[in-house]
C-alpha cells in the first residue's frame, strides 16, 4: 500500500505532467473519485447504515428488548458455541498445515495447497448439502445414526461441521505464504543448537507469525459467526434450538419483525466492523498485508 | 535410526526440522474428514442415479432457467465490478483525498459482513420505498425482487475480490515508463492503453474470475432480494435447497455436482490466470 505522502506526491506529479493541462487531470481525478465513492456508497455504505437505522427505527427500548427474546438469546449462544469449537480447531489445522507446507519439500505439495483452498470455491449450499448426504436421514450413515440415536444433521454437530467446511482454509492460507516467505533458517538454527520441536515453534516461529495468525483467526471467526448458506442447509431451522444468529435473522425478517431482525443484524455488523478494525490495526502497526 | 527413516519418508529433501510425518498426517486426515470425504459422498450419491434420470434432473427447464440466472447475473456483476473495481483501485492507489484510508479499509467489508446481513440490508435500501429504490422505482427500474437485485447483491460480494487483486498490480506499474512515454509525446489515453492496461490485465481478469466464482455459488445475500420465483428469480443454490426440503436427496446431489464441477473449472481458470500473470510480470522485468 502506498503511504499517503507518496500518493499525494503522485497526485501532484500527475497534475504537473508536461503536455497536459492541470485542469484536465484534476477533472479526471475528481470524476474518478466521485464515481468510485458513489459506487461504494450505494452498494456498501447505504445498506450498512440502513441496518442500524432500521434496528433503532422504533427507538432504543424496542432495540434492546429485541435481545430479551429467549430465541434470540439462544441464537446468540449457538453462534458463540459454534465459533468457540470451530475457530480453535481450524486454527490448529491452519498452523499444522502451514508448518508442513512451509518447512518441508515433498511431492504433491501444490496439489495439497489447492485442496486446502477448495472450500473457498465451493458454494455454501453445497458445503451444507454434503453433510446432509452423509448424515441426513436418507444419507450414507443416516440409518446407523438413527439406530444409535445420534443426531448430527439438524443439530449442533452438523452446524459445527458445515461451519468448519466453509472456514477450513482461512487460517492456513494466511500462514502458508507468510511462513514460506520467512524461510526456515531461524528454525534450523534453533534445532541445530539443540532446541526441541515445540520449543522452536513457540519461541522462534510463533513470534514471527503472530500477526498473520491474528489476521487469519479474526477472519475465520467472522465467517464462522456469519455463515448462512451452509448452516441453513444442515440446521433444519428449529427455532431456539438450531438457529444461529444469521438464521434467526432470516426467521425474524420473514415474520416482518424488522426491528428484531435488524437488531441481530446490527450485532453481526458490529462484529464485522470490529474485525475490520483489528485487521486494519494489524496492517498499520506491522506493515503486514495479505499477499 | 528407524524412527528417523519413517519421519523423512516422502520428503524429497530431508530437513533437520521435526514434525514432517505428524503435520502431514494431521493435515491430510483433517482435509479428508472435513472436505474430501464429504465431497466424495456428494459425487457418489449423484453417481448412484441412473444416467437418464441424472440428465433429466440437471437439464429440467427449472434447472436450466436457474443456471441462466446464476450465470447471467454473476457475469453482469463481475463485469460491473471489473469497471468500478478498477476505478476504485485506481482512485485508492493514485489519488489522495480525505478519508482515503477509511475507504481503503471498508473495501473488505463484504468479506467480513455476514451474507444474511447484506441480503436484508440491500433489500431494504433497494425496495420500492427504500432509500435508493424510491428514486429508481419512478424511472421504471425495479431492483428488489428482480434479476437486477440479484446482480446488485452479487456485485457487493464480488467487489473486494477485484479491488484487492488490481490494487497491488497498479502499484507495480512502472511510473518511469509512463513518464518516458509522455515525454516522448504519448497522450494520457495512449499511456493508459499501452502501459497500464497490459500490466494490470492479468490481475483484472483474475479479479473478475474470483468475483464470478464467488457469485455463482452465493446464496445468503441473494435469497432476500431475489423474490425466489421459480423459472424467474430462482438461483441454482436455492433450487438445491428446495430439492433438499422436498427430501429429493438425489436431485439435490445432481445439482450439487453441477455446482461442484463449475467450482473446479473456476479454480482451474483462476490458477491458469495467476500463472499467466506471473509469467507476464517476469517478462516485463
Alpha-carbon dihedral B83, B86, B88, B90, rounded to 10 degrees: -140
Residue B239, C-beta contacts closer than 8 angstroms, at least 6 positions apart: B62, B63, B66, B255
pLDDT tens-digit series, residues A225-274: 999 999 999 998 888 889 999 999 999 999 999 999 999 999 999 999 99
Cα distances from A78 to residues A241, A272, B198, in angstroms, run 8, 18, 49
Residue B16 contacts A where some CB pair is shorter than 8 Å? yes
Residue B248 contacts A where some CB pair is shorter than 8 Å? no
| Nearest chain B CA: its distance from A150 CA (Å) | 18
Cβ-defined contact of A96 to B241 (cutoff 8 Å): no
DSSP-derived letter for residue B246 is T
Number of neighbours of residue B11 by Cβ within 10 angstroms = 15
Number of neighbours of residue A5 by Cβ within 10 angstroms = 9
Residue A83's closest CA among A206, A229, A231?
A231
Contacts of B39 in chain A (CB under 8 A): 118, 122, 130
Contact A86/A164 with Cβ under 8 angstroms?
Answer: yes
Q: Which residue of A has its CA nearest to B7?
A: A104
Which residues on adjacent β-strands are paired with residue B13? A105
Cβ-defined contact of B240 to A232 (cutoff 8 Å): no
Residue B12 contacts A where some CB pair is shorter than 8 Å? yes
Q: What is the pLDDT of residue B4?
A: 42
Q: What is the pLDDT of residue B279?
A: 83
Give the E-state strand segments of chain A in sequence order.
105-106
Cβ-defined contact of A47 to B121 (cutoff 8 Å): yes
Residue A147, C-beta contacts closer than 8 angstroms, at least 6 positions apart: none
As a whole number, mean pLDDT of residues B80-94 equals 95
Cβ-defined contact of A42 to B156 (cutoff 8 Å): no
pLDDT tens-digit series, residues A42-98: 999 999 999 999 999 999 999 999 999 999 999 999 999 999 999 999 999 999 999
Q: Which residue of B has its CA nearest to A193?
A: B16
pLDDT at B3 over 60: no
Q: CA-to-CA distance for A251 and A239, rounded, in angstroms?
A: 8
Contacts of A117 in chain B (CB under 8 A): 267
| Nearest chain B CA: its distance from A131 CA (Å) | 6
- What is the band of B284 on the pLDDT scale with cuts at 50, 70, 90? low
Q: CA-to-CA distance for B279 and B103, rounded, in angstroms?
A: 32
- What is the band of B188 on the pLDDT scale with cuts at 50, 70, 90? confident
Cβ-defined contact of A100 to B20 (cutoff 8 Å): yes
- Percent of chain B exceeding pLDDT 70 equals 95
Residue A194, C-beta contacts closer than 8 angstroms, at least 6 positions apart: none
The set of cell numbers assigned to B167 is: 490494487
Domains of chain B, earliest start first: 51-284 (1.10.3720.10)
Cβ-defined contact of A43 to B155 (cutoff 8 Å): yes
- What is the band of B24 on the pLDDT scale with cuts at 50, 70, 90? very high
- What is the band of B281 on the pLDDT scale with cuts at 50, 70, 90? confident
Mean pLDDT is lowest, of A168-177, B108-117, B267-276, for: B267-276
Cα distances from A93 to residues A61, A290, B188, in angstroms, run 43, 19, 50
Domains of chain A, earliest start first: 4-55 (no CATH), 59-286 (1.10.3720.10)
Q: What is the pLDDT of residue A142?
A: 84
Mean pLDDT of chain B: 89
Work out the burial of residue A220: count CB atoms within 10 Å of its CB; fewer than 13 is exposed, 13-18 middle, 19 or more buried: buried
Q: How are beta strands B11-13 and A105-106 bridged, if at all?
A: antiparallel
pLDDT tens-digit series, residues B133-164: 999 999 999 999 999 999 999 999 999 999 99
Residue A216, C-beta contacts closer than 8 angstroms, at least 6 positions apart: A91, A94, A170, A171, A172, A173, A174, A175
Contacts of B88 in chain A (CB under 8 A): 36, 39-40
Interior CA angle at B194 toward B188 and B197, to 5°? 95
pLDDT tens-digit series, residues B221-264: 999 999 888 999 999 999 999 999 998 999 999 999 999 999 99
- What is the band of B48 on the pLDDT scale with cuts at 50, 70, 90? confident
How far, in whole angstroms, is CA A33 from its chain's centroid?
A: 29
Cβ-defined contact of A7 to B95 (cutoff 8 Å): yes
Q: Which residue of B has its CA nearest to A197?
A: B18
Give the best residue of B32, B74, B103, B120 to mutate against chain A (max A CB count within 10 A): B120
Q: What is the pLDDT of residue A14?
A: 52
Strand, helix or coil for residue B106: helix
- What is the number of CB-based contacts under 8 A between chain A and chain B? 313
Q: What is the pLDDT of residue B283?
A: 67
Q: What is the pLDDT of residue A3?
A: 43
The set of cell numbers assigned to A19 is: 503536455
Residue B264, C-beta contacts closer than 8 angstroms, at least 6 positions apart: A121
Residue B114 contacts A where some CB pair is shorter than 8 Å? yes
Number of neighbours of residue A13 by Cβ within 10 angstroms = 13
Residue A96's closest CA among A205, A225, A207?
A205
Residue B184 contacts A where some CB pair is shorter than 8 Å? no
Mean pLDDT is lowest, of A48-57, A155-164, B170-179, for: B170-179
- What is the band of A24 on the pLDDT scale with cuts at 50, 70, 90? confident
Task: Give the ipTM.
Answer: 0.89
pLDDT at A283 over 90: no
| Nearest chain A CA: its distance from B11 CA (Å) | 5
Contact A91/A220 with Cβ under 8 angstroms?
Answer: yes
Contacts of A45 in chain B (CB under 8 A): 106
pLDDT at B108 over 50: yes
Contacts of A42 in chain B (CB under 8 A): 132
Contact A266/A247 with Cβ under 8 angstroms?
Answer: no
Q: CA-to-CA distance for B100 and B105, rounded, in angstroms?
A: 9
Q: Which residue of A has its CA nearest to B158?
A: A43
| Nearest chain B CA: its distance from A194 CA (Å) | 11
- What is the band of B199 on the pLDDT scale with cuts at 50, 70, 90? confident
Amino acid at each position: 500500500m502506498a503511504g499517503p505522502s507518496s500518493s499525494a506526491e503522485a497526485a501532484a506529479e500527475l497534475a504537473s505532467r508536461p503536455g497536459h493541462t492541470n485542469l484536465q487531470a484534476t477533472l479526471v481525478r475528481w470524476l474518478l473519485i466521485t464515481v468510485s465513492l458513489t459506487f461504494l456508497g450505494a452498494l456498501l455504505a447505504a445498506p450498512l447504515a440502513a441496518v442500524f437505522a432500521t434496528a433503532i427505527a422504533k427507538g432504543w427500548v424496542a432495540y434492546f428488548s429485541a435481545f430479551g427474546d429467549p430465541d434470540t438469546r439462544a441464537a446468540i449462544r449457538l453462534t458463540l458455541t459454534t465459533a468457540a469449537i470451530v475457530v480453535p480447531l481450524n486454527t490448529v489445522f491452519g498452523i499444522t498445515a502451514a508448518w508442513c507446507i512451509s518447512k518441508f519439500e515433498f511431492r504433491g505439495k501444490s496439489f495439497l495447497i489447492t485442496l486446502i483452498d477448495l472450500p473457498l470455491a465451493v458454494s455454501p449450499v453445497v458445503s451444507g448439502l454434503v453433510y446432509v448426504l452423509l448424515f441426513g436421514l436418507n444419507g450414507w450413515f443416516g440409518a446407523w445414526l438413527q439406530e444409535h440415536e445420534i443426531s448430527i444433521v439438524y443439530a449442533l454437530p452438523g452446524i459445527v461441521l458445515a461451519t468448519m467446511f466453509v472456514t477450513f482454509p482461512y487460517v492456513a492460507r494466511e500462514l502458508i505464504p507468510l511462513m514460506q516467505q520467512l524461510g526456515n533458517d531461524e528454525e534450523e538454527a534453533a534445532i541445530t543448537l539443540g532446541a526441541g520441536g515445540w520449543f522452536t515453534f513457540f519461541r522462534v516461529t510463533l513470534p514471527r507469525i503472530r500477526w498473520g495468525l491474528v489476521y487469519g483467526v479474526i477472519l475465520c471467526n467472522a465467517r464462522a459467526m456469519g455463515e448462512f448458506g451452509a448452516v441453513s442447509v444442515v440446521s433444519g431451522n428449529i427455532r431456539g434450538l438450531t438457529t444461529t444468529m444469521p438464521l434467526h435473522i432470516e426467521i425474524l425478517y420473514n415474520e416482518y419483525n424488522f426491528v428484531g431482525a435488524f437488531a441481530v443484524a446490527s450485532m453481526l455488523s458490529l462484529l464485522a466492523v470490529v474485525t475490520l478494525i483489528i485487521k486494519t490495526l494489524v496492517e498499520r502497526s506491522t506493515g503486514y498485508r495479505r499477499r | 535410526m528407524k524412527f528417523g527413516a519413517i519421519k523423512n519418508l516422502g520428503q524429497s529433501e530431508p530437513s533437520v526440522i521435526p514434525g514432517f510425518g505428524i503435520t502431514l498426517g494431521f493435515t491430510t486426515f483433517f482435509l479428508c474428514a472435513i472436505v474430501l470425504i464429504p465431497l466424495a459422498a456428494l459425487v457418489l450419491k449423484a453417481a448412484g442415479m441412473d444416467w437418464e434420470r441424472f440428465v433429466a434432473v440437471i437439464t429440467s427447464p427449472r434447472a436450466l432457467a436457474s443456471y441462466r440466472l446464476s450465470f447471467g447475473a454473476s457475469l453482469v456483476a463481475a463485469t460491473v465490478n471489473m469497471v468500478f473495481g478498477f476505478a476504485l483501485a485506481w482512485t485508492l492507489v493514485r489519488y489522495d483525498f480525505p478519508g482515503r484510508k477509511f475507504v481503503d479499509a471498508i473495501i473488505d467489508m463484504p468479506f467480513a459482513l455476514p451474507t444474511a446481513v447484506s441480503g436484508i440490508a440491500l433489500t431494504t435500501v433497494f425496495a420500492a420505498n427504500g432509500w435508493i429504490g424510491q428514486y429508481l422505482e419512478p424511472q421504471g427500474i425495479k431492483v428488489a425482487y428482480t434479476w437486477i437485485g440479484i446482480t446488485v447483491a452479487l456485485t457487493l460480494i464480488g467487489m473486494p475480490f477485484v479491488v484487492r487483486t488490481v490494487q497491488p498490480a497498479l502499484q507495480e506499474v512502472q511510473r518511469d515508463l509512463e513518464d518516458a512515454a509522455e515525454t516522448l509525446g504519448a497522450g494520457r489515453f495512449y499511456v493508459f492503453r499501452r502501459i497500464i492496461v497490459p500490466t494490470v490485465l492479468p490481475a483484472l481478469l483474475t479479479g473478475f474470475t474470483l468475483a464470478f466464482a464467488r457469485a455463482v455459488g452465493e446464496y445468503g445475500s441473494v435469497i432476500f432480494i431475489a423474490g425466489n420465483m421459480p423459472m424467474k428469480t430462482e438461483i441454482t443454490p436455492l433450487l438445491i435447497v428446495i430439492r433438499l426440503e422436498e427430501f429429493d436427496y438425489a436431485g439435490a446431489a445432481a445439482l450439487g455436482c453441477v455446482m461442484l464441477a463449475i467450482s473446479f473449472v473456476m479454480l482451474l481458470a483462476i490458477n491458469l490466470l495467476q500463472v499467466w500473470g506471473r509469467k507476464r510480470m517476469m517478462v516485463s522485468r
